[in-house]
Amino acid sequence: MRRGTSEYEAAQEAMAEILLERARSGDWPIQYGKLSNLLEEQGHNVPAHSVEMDHLLADVSHQESPDGTKTTLSVMVVLKEKGEPGAGFYRLAREEFGRKGDNVGIWGEEMKLLAGDFRHR
């Protein structure tokens, strides 16, 4: 699956719907494997720890916050072993969303933004 293809765009739309619904309902975090399974149920093969998963999470985050003022939706997707986001989240937060600080601080601030962004929806 490559960016710019109809297959990719359909997977991005499906991922956005899943994450937005979970954000609105407060049903987070979600593990990478669970997100992969939910996408698979809709016909999208996105392995949990793949480049495609990383790209889709980044693109969905940009889609929902093009100017970086809202949370990165990918903050709610966590590793089963650690219960926190993977390295791709922190890279995205710093390099593309301009977030500053250590991993714990970035994660905490993004979780606060997530709660605030979706409190009244």
pLDDT digits (tens, 9 = 90+) for 38-69: 999 999 999 999 999 999 999 999 999 999 89
Task: Work out the angle between the directed axes of helices 51-64 and 87-95 (0-180°, nearest 10).
Answer: 40
Distance from C-alpha of 87 to C-alpha of 112, rounded to nearest angstrom: 19
Q: What is the mean pLDDT of residues 23-41?
A: 96
Q: Is the pTM of this model over 0.85?
A: yes
Domains of the chain, by residue range, sit at 6-118
The owner of tokens 């100017």 is 67
Q: What confidence score (pLDDT) does residue 11 get?
A: 98
Q: What is the mean pLDDT of residues 4-32?
A: 96
Q: What is the DSSP letter of 74?
A: G
pLDDT band at 117 (very low <50, low <70, confident <90, very high): confident
Q: What is the mean pLDDT of residues 73-89?
A: 95
Q: What confidence score (pLDDT) does residue 120 get?
A: 52
